[in-house]
Amino acid sequence: MTTKFFGEPVRRREDARLIIGQGRYLDDIGSGAYAAAFVRSPYAHARVLDIDVSAAMDVEGLLAIYTYEDLTGPLAEPLPVLIPHPQLTAPRTGYPLVKDVAQHVGEPIVMVVATDRYIAEDAAGLIEISYEELPVVVGVDAAEAAEHTVHDDVPDNIAARHHQETGDVEAALAASAHTFSFTQYFERSASMPMEGKGVHARWDDADSSLRVYSSTQASTSVRAAIAAKLELSMEKVEVIAPDVGGGFGVKIVHPWPEELLVPMAARRLGHEVKWTEDRREHFISSAHERQQRQEITVGYDDDGRITALDVLVWHDNGAYTPYGIIVPINTATQLCGPYDIPVYRARVNSVYTNTVIVTPYRGAGRPQGTFAMERTMDRIAQERGIDRALVRERNLIQPDQFPYDWGLTFQDGRPLIYDSGDYPAMMAKLKVLVDWDGFAARRAEAEARGKLLGIGMAPYVEGTGPGPYEGAHVQVLGSGKVLVSTGLTSQGQGHETVFAQLAAAELGVPLEDVVVTTGDTRRFGYAVGTFASRAAVVSGNAVALAARGVKEKALRIAAEVLEADPADLEIDEGLVQVKGTPGASIPLRTVAVLSNPLRYAFDEAARQATQFSGPGDDSKPPVAVGDAPGLEHTDYYSPLRSTFASGAHAVVVEIDPATWEIAIEQYAVVHDCGTIINPMIVEGQVHGGVAQGVGGALYERMAYDRDGQLTNASFMDFLMPYSSEVPDVDIDHQSTPSPLNELGIKGAGEAGVIPGSAAIASAIEDAVGRRIAAMPISPTELYDLVRSDAERVTNSSPHDSGAMA
């Protein structure tokens, strides 16, 4: 492989259209489509008694009203449980439209189709529904108490009991020199992409086929779901993810009710139908994440080395479990981060509440796990009077311990084995980057100004790039254009650029010649999807393999023409040439033409190719057995198991004790995602992740009241950070390539968000000297905390620790 584009900060291919307003997002498609709107439950838990649509029928422009009664066949069945798990003993999913009981505010009950969205909302507003209100369960504590139930047939509200352990934790705790236990809370936030969800469907009556555009992270699976639920044969359904305005996890869930109902309506009405989710709908009917209560017991020795860790997590999965228990499994299996913990037990109770479903949001359970682990580390340091960095360093997995087998099962069902890393070096870089050892002087300077300064840190390890597979198709056209397609989707990660870099590097062609398509089932039918920081790892390796297959074939054909050994050939700048022999060459595009024995001279490329076409061998068929016309290749990459990226963040906060405002003075990141394809894009991912981490730590929360009403379902009150709230980020890189794939890649998408709350909580605790036991935290809550009887804590400085240690 040439390395010309690999590792370079190549400018993004997709930007050319996006900066001039020529992107094509879901709502930009189908200007003549009918518009759908939904009547959604205003109650968190209510039985639907009667639906009266009579007043809506008079609305001019109304085209259709659908309720559960109108659903037929598989559509009338519950939505699928995408990822079943043996420990998910009580899985429950809703129906595309509420059948009897609405389980959260926002659940769709009636679908309205009209000539435009204004009119659809008019009609929706005139539909009268009578309800019987039922008792509401909000929050993990209420779910555990089970005074009321979400689902009648789940009396303890527990959907799943997940349990993993590496040894006898109770014995190990009993044998530990020191132990303590504590409980802490983590609140809800959400992916909240700038573009909500959306679906456009067009039914072709003559062909009995369906084309669906969805703002999704998994178009191939949406296709399969639509085919199954609408009882269509697979080849009659195509699904395309157009430009997608951000995903961050919420768009991996599928099929959303609307992904089935919009195609259903398009088919029944014989007309394009489109639903563009508005912001209020996104708040109350898409997915949230992160709420947990964590009960932690740790055993450790005099030096602060952990001897046993026992964690019980109460995880709020919302009203349904369509995405299985991936999020709490991530918490349970990723919690230990970079630390060598001899005996570990994780138990998770995943509980139902009358709230929006909980499915992965960037980080997907890991921010909570890191919060549990890192708050534990801080407490050990405080108990033992050891510098917080030092206690972490003492517990790190060492470079010679890889592969590090936890004896646990990861979320992909594979063994949890860390592939590579260098955690001591990473922590050393972080301490330099944030000047950990020189912090005392900064604190004193701030104190002189009447401000409280605090510092915190949090490393993490993230399983990335899980299988089962991704594939890619690479084809060289007679024009020289190189088509690359992979089935997974893009939501801003720059796949059009990085996959082009990989293909160009493998094939030896100019980057400009490569055109990448993602998420279009017309081009590639097999894919898993974009989640779990897996695109670069899994599709990236698949693209490289497919390009390599094309290259092999190209060299073979060119070798015949040039009468050379394929091993003596190379491709550079789109020219196949004999190494060291100037002039002995053939353009790759000509090889592409030669690869197809049928080549009418429609164009210059085909005409040129004739000069190379010899008389041929009459004893063989024009296309050899086992060969195929065309210069193309499809290949798949199926990883043995996940790769494990790592990183560490450090934060300095300044707090004004007159207002308890929390300002981030410094944010330092050391990041290791193995081999980097495009450092510009990786840094962009880190920046964005950090911003979401800061948002989740200090600003964002889904504020449900006791009745299950989301009280802040707007951008006015759900406080996503503007630039004024996001700190500058200092980044240092480290690269420990993954031994599991040939490119050495680990995933980078989610990393930036993972340790945010843990590091910021540590810094705030350091500044105010009071125990932080819940995140996020706002100034008003900090003010309450410092006036409460919350435990007082003192951190040892790097200079005076060690005496006790």
Partner 1 sequence: MKPAPFGYVDPTSVDEVLDVLTSEGEGAKVLAGGQSLLPLLSMRLAAPTTLVDINRVPGLDQISAGRDGVRVGALVRHAQLLASSEAADVQPLLGRATANVAHPAIRNRGTTVGSIAHADPSGEMTAVLALTDGSVTVATPDGRETIGWGDFFLGPLETSVHGPAVVLDAFFPALPERSGTAFAEIARRKGDYAVCGAGVVVTLDADRRVSSARAAYLSVGLVPEVHDLTDAVVGQPVDTADWTAAGELARGLVDPDGDLHASADYRRLLVATLTARTLADAGAEAARRTA
Partner 2 sequence: MTEVRTERSISVVVNGVPREATVPVRWLLSDALRHEFGLTGTHVGCEHGVCGSCTVLVDGQPTRSCLVLAVQVDGREVTTVEGLSRSDHQGGQVLHPIQEAFRECHALQCGFCTPGFLTTIAAGLDARDPSVEITEEEVDELVGGNLCRCTGYANIKKACRHAAATMRDEAAR
- Which positions lie near partner 1, rule CB under 8 A? 117-118, 121-122, 125, 278-280, 658-661, 699, 703, 711-712, 714, 716-717, 719, 721-722, 724-725, 778-780, 783-784
Going by the DSSP 8-state scheme, the letter that residue 79 receives in this structure is P
CB of 494 to partner 2, least distance (A): 7
Its sign, for the CA torsion 411, 748, 334, 640, is positive
- Could you tell which of partner 2, partner 1, none binds residue 729, using a CB distance below 5 to 8 A set by kind? partner 2
Helices (H), 64-107: none
Q: Which two tokens stand for residue 257?
A: 């009710």
d(CA 654, CA 659): 12
- Could you tell which of partner 1, partner 2, none binds residue 687, using a CB distance below 5 to 8 A set by kind? partner 2
CB of 703 to partner 1, least distance (A): 5
CB of 137 to partner 1, least distance (A): 21
What's the 3-state SS for 541-559? HHHHHHHHHHHHHHHHHHH
CB of 203 or CB of 718, closer to partner 1: 718
- Could you tell which of partner 1, partner 2, none binds residue 711, using a CB distance below 5 to 8 A set by kind? partner 1
**Torsion region of 676: left, alpha or beta (phi above 0 gives left; psi -120 to 50 gives alpha):** beta
Q: Residue 438: CB partners within 8 Å, gap ≥ 6? A: none
478 burial (CB, 10 Å; 0-12 / 13-18 / 19+) is buried
- Could you tell which of partner 1, partner 2, none binds residue 25, using a CB distance below 5 to 8 A set by kind? partner 2
CB of 66 to partner 1, least distance (A): 20
CB of 709 to partner 1, least distance (A): 12
- Could you tell which of partner 2, partner 1, none binds residue 778, using a CB distance below 5 to 8 A set by kind? partner 1
CB of 249 or CB of 587, closer to partner 2: 249
- Could you tell which of partner 2, partner 1, none binds residue 12, using a CB distance below 5 to 8 A set by kind? partner 2
CB of 87 or CB of 778, closer to partner 1: 778
CB of 16 or CB of 145, closer to partner 2: 16
CB of 279 or CB of 522, closer to partner 2: 279
CB of 86 or CB of 450, closer to partner 1: 450
- Could you tell which of partner 1, partner 2, none binds residue 195, using a CB distance below 5 to 8 A set by kind? partner 2
Tell me if 694 sits within 8 A of 662, measured CB to CB: no
CB of 351 or CB of 710, closer to partner 1: 710
d(CA 188, CA 479): 52
560-567, long-range: CB < 8 A, 24+ apart? 561/586, 561/591, 561/594, 561/612, 562/586
d(CA 464, CA 533): 5
CB of 25 or CB of 636, closer to partner 2: 25
Its sign, for the CA torsion 218, 633, 599, 592, is positive
d(CA 357, CA 150): 13
- Could you tell which of partner 1, partner 2, none binds residue 690, using a CB distance below 5 to 8 A set by kind? partner 2
d(CA 2, CA 511): 12
Helix (H) or strand (E) holding 351: strand 344-351
CB of 279 to partner 2, least distance (A): 4
- Could you tell which of partner 1, partner 2, none binds residue 680, using a CB distance below 5 to 8 A set by kind? partner 2
CB of 20 to partner 2, least distance (A): 7
CB of 348 or CB of 726, closer to partner 1: 726
CB of 169 or CB of 651, closer to partner 2: 651
Q: Which one, of 650, 668, 649, 654, lies nearest residue 782 by Cα?
A: 654
- Could you tell which of partner 1, partner 2, none binds residue 493, using a CB distance below 5 to 8 A set by kind? partner 2
Q: Which one, of 118, 129, 132, lies nearest residue 55 by Cα?
A: 129
CB of 244 or CB of 264, closer to partner 2: 244
CB of 659 to partner 1, least distance (A): 5
DSSP 3-state of 346: strand
- Could you tell which of partner 2, partner 1, none binds residue 121, using a CB distance below 5 to 8 A set by kind? partner 1
CB of 723 to partner 2, least distance (A): 4
Kindly list the residues in this chain that would bind partner 2 in the complex (CB under 8 A): 11-12, 14-16, 18-25, 27-28, 31, 116, 118, 192-195, 243-248, 278-279, 491-494, 680-681, 683-684, 687-692, 714-716, 720, 722-724, 726, 728-729, 752
CB of 122 to partner 1, least distance (A): 7
CB of 20 or CB of 716, closer to partner 1: 716
CB of 106 to partner 1, least distance (A): 14
Buried b (16+ CB within 10 A) or exposed e, 58-94: ebeebbbbbbbebbeeebeeebbbbbebebbebbbbb
Tell me if 347 sits within 8 A of 369, measured CB to CB: no
Omega of the bond leading into 403 within 30 degrees of 0 (cis) = yes
- Could you tell which of partner 1, partner 2, none binds residue 22, using a CB distance below 5 to 8 A set by kind? partner 2
CB of 281 to partner 2, least distance (A): 11
Q: Which two tokens stand for residue 771?
A: 């125990």
CB of 639 or CB of 693, closer to partner 2: 693
CB of 713 to partner 1, least distance (A): 10
Buried b (16+ CB within 10 A) or exposed e, 294-303: bebbbbbeeb
- Beta-sheet strands, E only, within 527-590: 569-572, 575-578, 585-587
- Could you tell which of partner 2, partner 1, none binds residue 506, using a CB distance below 5 to 8 A set by kind? none
CB of 31 or CB of 794, closer to partner 1: 31
CB of 705 to partner 1, least distance (A): 10
Its sign, for the CA torsion 423, 428, 432, 436, is positive
- Could you tell which of partner 2, partner 1, none binds residue 21, using a CB distance below 5 to 8 A set by kind? partner 2
CB of 724 to partner 1, least distance (A): 4
- Could you tell which of partner 2, partner 1, none binds residue 163, using a CB distance below 5 to 8 A set by kind? none
CB of 523 to partner 1, least distance (A): 35
Residue type, 604: E
Q: How far is CA 729 from CA 640, 651, 687, 778, in A?
A: 34, 10, 7, 21
CB of 197 or CB of 495, closer to partner 1: 197
350 bridge partner residues:
160, 315
- The CA-CA-CA angle for residues 610, 616, 617, to 5°, reads 175
CB of 195 or CB of 310, closer to partner 1: 195
- Could you tell which of partner 1, partner 2, none binds residue 406, using a CB distance below 5 to 8 A set by kind? none
d(CA 710, CA 758): 26
CB of 101 or CB of 702, closer to partner 1: 702
- Could you tell which of partner 2, partner 1, none binds residue 763, using a CB distance below 5 to 8 A set by kind? none
CB of 632 to partner 1, least distance (A): 46
Q: HSE of 362 in the Cβ direction (CA atoms, 13 Å)?
A: 29
Q: How far apart are the first and last CA of the chain?
A: 51
Look-up: residue for tokens 């191939």? 220
